[in-house]
Amino acid sequence: MTSESSIVEVTLESDLKNVEAAEEIVRRVTATAGFDEESQQQVEMAVHESMINAIWHGNKNDASKIVWLRLEVFNDRLEVRVRDQGEGFDVTGIPDPRSQTNLLKVSGRGIFLIRTFVDEFRVEHHAGLGTEVTLVKRMEQARSLK
Amino acid sequence: MSMKVTVRQVDSVTVVDVSGRITLGEGCTQLRELIREQIAKGNKKVLLNLADVTYIDSSGIGELVSAYTAVSNQSGQLKLLNLTKKVHDLLQITKLYTVFDIHNDEVKAISSFEKV
């Protein structure tokens, strides 16, 4: 096992059309990295939701702002970073969408789905620079020991 | 691929065949407007056939909830038909599987409206 990693990095305009472009990149990277189909779809969904958050909530759908997407494949995991130019958000205050009081709410499931589909989820806000979310998906033990 | 909808009437039930992506933006807006139109026409028995839905995100799930609530608030019923594995899994994870009346057989789904 080596400590080498491979990196894919793109900068995208804040346009919802670019969410599908990001999904395509994720599909290729996760397939090449050797994730099984279910894991590929889970990462794709987590990145989809992160891109939506970055474009819609972070950058307020302002096409003059950008979203930075970076995928780094290690032997044992994939790390995805999505950075916007927004003000950030507090992940501690997000209610559980599965509770009876929230079940019929129209919104509020994005972060929950991200957390469900990846092994680690971190949010960092850098004043004046924007918000960066990091998603980590670990490979199955058998794959990572090959 | 964007979302496409086809509306057909089977007895008193409005069957909406949805295909493509139900995601934030065009897909969600289209579904919302369609449900609004059906309610305005007095069609309060709605069966959403999701067999050809290739992708749904958190906003799309929210739109299904919104449609369910809008129809229920008019004393109507909205049911789901032919969930793909992806949609099925997402409704399980979000616990919405317990909210919706979900069917795999169109004939049975349509007759379930009649029993009300």
pLDDT given at position A145: 46
> What number is the average pLDDT over the span A55-71?
95
pLDDT, tens digit, 9 for 90 and up, residues B20-56: 999 998 889 999 999 999 999 999 999 999 999 999 9
Asked whether the beta carbons of residue B63 and residue A106 sit closer than 8 angstroms, the reply is yes
Q: How many residues does chain A have?
A: 146
Show the beta-strand stretches assigned E in chain B: 4-10, 13-22, 45-56, 77-81, 101-103
- Domain interval for residue A106: 6-144
Of A41, A49, A98, the CB nearest to B94: A98
Pairwise CA distance, residues A13 & B5, whole Å: 29
Pairwise CA distance, residues A85 & A105, whole Å: 28
DSSP bridge partners of A103 = none
Q: Give the pLDDT band (50/70/90) at residue A95.
A: very high
Q: How many CA atoms lie within 13 A of A9 on its CB side?
A: 6
Residue the block writes with tokens 């349509």: B110
Residue type at position B11: D
Is residue A100 included in any domain, yes or no? yes
Pairwise CA distance, residues A57 & B7, whole Å: 33
Of A98, A104, A109, the CB nearest to B58: A109
Measure in Å the smallest separation between the Cα of A101 and chain B Cα atoms: 12
pLDDT given at position B31: 95
Interface of B with A in 18-37 (CB under 8 A): 23-25
Q: How many CB pairs under 8 A join A and B?
A: 48
List the CATH number of the domain containing A104: 3.30.565.10
Domain count, chain B: 1
Asked whether the beta carbons of residue B58 and residue A16 sit closer than 8 angstroms, the reply is no
Average pLDDT, chain B: 95
Is residue B114 included in any domain, yes or no? no
For residue B62, the chain A residues in CB contact (below 8 A) are 105-109
Pairwise CA distance, residues A19 & A10, whole Å: 12
Q: How many residues does chain B have?
A: 116
Asked whether the beta carbons of residue A112 and residue B66 sit closer than 8 angstroms, the reply is no
> What number is the average pLDDT over the span A69-97?
92
For residue B96, the chain A residues in CB contact (below 8 A) are 103
Pairwise CA distance, residues A142 & A42, whole Å: 19
For residue B73, the chain A residues in CB contact (below 8 A) are none
pLDDT given at position A106: 96
Is residue B65 included in any domain, yes or no? yes
List the CATH number of the domain containing B31: 3.30.750.24
Residue the block writes with tokens 């789905």: A113
DSSP bridge partners of A77 = A138
What's the complex ipTM?
0.91
Pairwise CA distance, residues B116 & B114, whole Å: 5
Residue A145 in tokens: 């020991």
Is residue B116 included in any domain, yes or no? no
For residue A108, the chain B residues in CB contact (below 8 A) are 62
> What number is the average pLDDT over the span A38-65?
95
Pairwise CA distance, residues A36 & A33, whole Å: 9
Domain count, chain A: 1
Asked whether the beta carbons of residue A106 and residue B93 sit closer than 8 angstroms, the reply is no
Measure in Å the smallest separation between the Cα of A59 and chain B Cα atoms: 15
- Domain interval for residue B12: 4-109
Is residue A1 included in any domain, yes or no? no
